Amino acid sequence: MNQSRAFQIEYHQFLDPDGVPVGDLPPLAEETEALQALYRNMVFTRLYDERAIALQRTGQLGTFASSLGQEAIGAGVGHAMRPEDIILPSFRENGALLFRHFRVRDLLLYWGGDERGMANPKLGDDFPICVPIATHTTQATGVAFAIKYRKQPRVVVCLLGDGGTSKGDFYEAINLAGAWNLPLVFVINNNQWAISVPRNLQSRAETLAQKAIAAGIPGVQLDGNDPIAVRHYVAEAIEKARDGGGPTLIEAISYRLCHHTTADDATRYRSEEELEAHRRLDPVPRLRRFMERRQIWSEEQETRLIQACQAEIEQEVRHYLDTPPQKPESMFDSLYAELPRELQAQRQSLLGKEVNHD
């Protein structure tokens, strides 16, 4: 029998877990300001995570999804995008959103149940955080089609988790992106756990990147704990899409060092040994070690950075806590251009209860 086609998935990594180069480095590795921006974003994201969890544990925030251990993906994606590009995030891309003018107060408002957190005018056309799994992937194809139809030099970046690649929405989205050659980059944050389901039970596919093959688009796999690799290959895929080269699917392999959310207890389904093995792959100290060897980062800079990040986060937390609660009737106000009669009655009933209560 003759072979009709042969496919392969490339795996990319520039830094090993100790921050030591494993081969030739891209030009990004010589850009001190860019490396320091990536590092600051990862440190800031981690400190924000810690503060958000503390707020949740003290009843001042709703359920929260941490990105502990996966900061390189958000930082790399956010830094690679241009301001005019459009992001459709899942719920674990805090670092990318912080590069996109989302403020800590915005994110806290969102996780506090206040939709005004996604209404900052500076967010432009960026989409709000999507909690339903993979539903935003088909929306991403629609957005990408719109900017292609309008001949705009913009690119859409859609981030999702490994569990999302098992959903029908995902397959429909990558198929359409390929068929229409859309300016769209899918980035899979493969943190190896879809809540309590491990990666090896989610799919028999050897890699998640190879799912791109059936859609006729390039699929690449990279070390998602290597910030330089994420930044380099996401930027490469974005610029290819901007030049008319079509979509790319990127699988960034990382690991969820935290619980799925603050409503989860990961100790029930994974071992401490597994967790400890992945702590050694942590992306934050990896980039720090690399910069220290290059003598572009010091202990003094580290101390100043942490103090500055903590001060900024505390200021943002104060903004969040001081924000007056959203009015209950606002839940009706963004659903329709003209509210249906039944919902008008519900809105009036709600207002009436408030009046009676007062």
Quick check: is 171 catalytic?
no
Give the position of tokens 């998640």.
Answer: 208
* pLDDT for position 228: 98
* pLDDT for position 356: 47
* HSE (side-chain half, CA atoms, 13 Å) at 100: 31
* pLDDT for position 354: 53
Distance CA 224, CA 70 (A): 7
* pLDDT for position 122: 86
Q: What is the mean pLDDT of each run of 10 residues along the chain (358 residues)?
A: 87 98 97 98 98 98 97 98 97 95 96 92 93 97 98 98 97 98 98 95 96 97 98 98 98 97 95 96 98 98 98 98 92 87 90 58
Class of the CATH domain delimited by 11-326? alpha beta
Q: Which of 269, 279, 293, 318 is catalytic?
A: 269
Quick check: is 260 catalytic?
yes
Q: Which of 79, 92, 100, 256 is catalytic?
A: 256
* pLDDT for position 6: 85
* pLDDT for position 158: 98
Residue 348 one-letter amino acid: Q
Q: Which of 105, 232, 260, 286 is catalytic?
A: 260
**Start-end ranges of CATH 3.40.50.970 in the chain?**
11-326
* pLDDT for position 353: 63
Q: Which residues contact 90 (CB under 8 A, 6 or more apart)?
A: 129, 130, 131, 133, 136, 159, 160, 161, 164, 189
pTM for this prediction:
0.94
Quick check: is 318 catalytic?
no
